[in-house]
Chains A and B, each alone.
Chain A
Amino acid sequence: MNIYTHELRAYTKSTIIWTISLVALVILFMSIFPAFSKDAEEFKKLLEGYPEPVRKAIGLNLESFTSLLGFYSYVFLYFSLCGAIQAMNIGTSILSKEVREKTADFLLTKPVSRSKIITSKILAGVTSIVITNICFLIAVTFMASYVKNDSYDQGTFLMISITLLFIQLIFLAIGTFVSVIVSKIKSVIAVSLGTVFTFFIIGMLASTSDDEKLRYLSPFKYFDSAYIIKNSSYETPFVILAILIIGASISAGYIIYIKKDIHTV
């Protein structure tokens, strides 16, 4: 419990900053919507001028773009990008931080098992993400009801919004795994930005290509909002894949960390 509290306290500042940024992003993007919907036809014409692959890559769908849910699924891509960076940051720093700040000796010579250390740290990371998600949900729900032009399906809206948490959990798990296998991470932000943008670009490519398989490579594409809007459900294979990635990364992280030699630095 003491490690959990300590870690949570260490994340306070970054959690606040990320949450505020995300909420600001939500307010900014969502407040554009009324302008879009008002001049819907003109925007459509304007956007038709973009080549199709470009529209696909940035997640634009002309048919649904002017409805609230359609617009939301477009901007949501960028909320999830922001959230992914936050989660990857936390994950990557979970254990690498002890090596970088050379505090591993302090923590590991205390009467606690390594599995307890990693559990507390992951839980603190998850807590930080959950707090961000709660604030995000409140902000996005409020903004949606404020800018809506028509009634929209709130269930579907929530289903899309909650995928932010899923994507974040995936990146948290990947980050944790990276922080265990890479012995010394000099800059967390470089590793996390690199990883997240790689997946993001793969996701863009997956959108432009007709090859469905590419979608499996990018967590950003696991929860397709068009599919959610149409079917009011998630795609089972991708849900299973997400669970597998999280499970595998976290278990591998545990196993390696428990057996790892902690060297002097």
Chain B
Amino acid sequence: MNVIEINNLTKMYGKARGIENVSFNVEQGEIFGFIGPNGAGKSTTIRTLLSLIYPTSGSAKIFGKDCIEFGPEIKKEIGYLPSEVFYYDNMKVKDLLKYSASFYGKDCSKRIKELAEIMQLDLNKKIDDLSLGNKKKVGIVQGLLHEPKLIILDEPTSGLDPLMQQKFFELLEEENRKGATILFSSHILTEVQRLCNRVAIIKDGKIITVEKISTLQENNYKKFKLLTSVTVDKEYFDMNGVSNLVLENNTVSFLFKGNVNPVMKKLADIEIQNIWVEEPDLEEIFMHYYEKEE
């Protein structure tokens, strides 16, 4: 079952691009990563899902219901954490969380306590007096206190120290085990790599690919680096699946996607001094996706 279905979603800001024909699905129980550089359209997509902004064309469904038409209804089961959190300054943390809970029509006080304890958040402080990281914690508790079925996080880790980030990820994994679906946007790959099952990569407002993390990482890509005895022509490596080709004196390096047999045969014809074949980290794959489009 798909918790989120996005169909050809387009948002233009006047003539400026927001997102163009974005389509992907997030399945139930998944931790789905949404990665791309700043300004690629991650927030635009997420804000449309939450009906904070309205699409120019296309549509999105959450829990099988149109996210604009049934906005208030589906938001009962959504927990959202924006990238920057600002809350009513003159309130105490406790009062803000109570106010937040009052929208869901159920008693959340126990969960608030639990979450505050995990995140080491002082409930009696004024929000005004909190540091950025602590405000972020308020945001996390606020987003999770009603035990939502869908958690949407827009670059959630900024401002959290590594220890808290760790706790936060554990918390998310636990929510996920309990059945929550998570949409996680980020430009930091390592966090996506750690948590997510699948990712959508977005660039310049368009989805470049949607793939399993494991596929991205292991199955298809190999990083080749070889030291040859004689200089080899660039054209020699002109074959399907080769990218990020760099030739420097007698050193050749490239990323390879696909069946490795043809490339191995080709390499066998060259006089090789040394060869390294490695799993690329996600960062390199990511850069590869970015550059491919240019």
> A111 contacts which of B52, B72, B82 (Cβ < 8 Å)?
B72
CA distance A105 to B72 in the complex (A): 14
- Is B54 at the interface (CB under 8 A from chain A)? yes
A110-B75, A111-B104, A264-B47 known; A105+B88 contact, CB < 8 A? no
Contact A262 B87 (CB under 8 A): no
Instruction: Find the residue from A2, A105, A116, A263 having the highest chain B CB count within 10 A.
Output: A105
- Is A212 at the interface (CB under 8 A from chain B)? no
A105-B52, A264-B47 known; A110+B86 contact, CB < 8 A? no
Contact A109 B84 (CB under 8 A): no
CA distance A103 to B47 in the complex (A): 14
Residue of A nearest to B105 (CB): A111
| A2 cross-chain contacts in B, Cβ below 8 A | 99, 102-103
- Is A138 at the interface (CB under 8 A from chain B)? no
Chain A stretch 105-120: residues in CB contact (< 8 A) with chain B:
105-106, 108-113, 116
Residue of A nearest to B102 (CB): A2
> B87 contacts which of A103, A108, A263 (Cβ < 8 Å)?
A103
A2-B103, A106-B100, A111-B73 known; A262+B53 contact, CB < 8 A? yes
A101-B89, A102-B84, A110-B75 known; A261+B54 contact, CB < 8 A? yes
CA distance A259 to B54 in the complex (A): 8
Contact B86 A262 (CB under 8 A): no
Write the B62-83 contact mask toward A (1 if CB under 8 angstroms, else 0).
Answer: 0000000001111110101011
- Is A38 at the interface (CB under 8 A from chain B)? no
CA distance A56 to B78 in the complex (A): 61
Give the size of the chain B interface in residues (CB under 8 angstroms): 29
| A108 cross-chain contacts in B, Cβ below 8 A | 50-52
Contact B103 A103 (CB under 8 A): no
**B70 CB to closest chain A CB, in angstroms?**
10
- Is B59 at the interface (CB under 8 A from chain A)? no
| B54 cross-chain contacts in A, Cβ below 8 A | 259, 261
Write the A75-94 contact mask toward B (1 if CB under 8 angstroms, else 0).
Answer: 00000000000000000000
> B50 contacts which of A6, A102, A109 (Cβ < 8 Å)?
A109
A103-B86, A109-B78 known; A261+B53 contact, CB < 8 A? yes
CA distance A101 to B85 in the complex (A): 10
Residue of B nearest to A109 (CB): B80
Chain B stretch 25-75: residues in CB contact (< 8 A) with chain A:
43, 47, 50-54, 71-75
Residue of A nearest to B99 (CB): A6
Write the A105-144 contact mask toward B (1 if CB under 8 angstroms, else 0).
Answer: 1101111110010000000000000000000000000000
> B142 contacts which of A106, A112, A263, A264 (Cβ < 8 Å)?
A106
Write the A3-30 contact mask toward B (1 if CB under 8 angstroms, else 0).
Answer: 0001000100000000000000000000
CA distance A27 to B228 in the complex (A): 98
| A109 cross-chain contacts in B, Cβ below 8 A | 50, 52, 75, 78, 80
| A103 cross-chain contacts in B, Cβ below 8 A | 86-88
Contact B89 A112 (CB under 8 A): no
Contact A112 B87 (CB under 8 A): no
| B76 cross-chain contacts in A, Cβ below 8 A | 111
Contact B52 A261 (CB under 8 A): yes
CA distance A108 to B53 in the complex (A): 10
Residue of B nearest to A106 (CB): B87
> B75 contacts which of A6, A101, A111, A263 (Cβ < 8 Å)?
A111
**A264 CB to closest chain B CB, in angstroms?**
6
**A11 CB to closest chain B CB, in angstroms?**
12
Chain B stretch 143-161: residues in CB contact (< 8 A) with chain A:
none
**A238 CB to closest chain B CB, in angstroms?**
39
Chain B stretch 215-257: residues in CB contact (< 8 A) with chain A:
none
CA distance A101 to B89 in the complex (A): 8
> B43 contacts which of A102, A259, A261, A264 (Cβ < 8 Å)?
A264
Chain A stretch 209-265: residues in CB contact (< 8 A) with chain B:
259, 261-264
* B contact residues vs A (CB 8 Å cutoff): 43, 47, 50-54, 71-76, 78, 80, 82-84, 86-90, 99-100, 102-104, 142
* A contact residues vs B (CB 8 Å cutoff): 2, 6, 10, 101-106, 108-113, 116, 259, 261-264
**What are some 14 contacts across the A-B interface (CB < 8 A)?**
A6-B99, A103-B87, A103-B88, A108-B51, A109-B75, A109-B78, A110-B100, A111-B74, A111-B103, A113-B72, A261-B52, A262-B52, A264-B47, A264-B82
Given A110-B103, A111-B75; 6 other pairs, CB 8 A cutoff: A102-B84, A109-B50, A111-B103, A112-B103, A263-B53, A264-B82
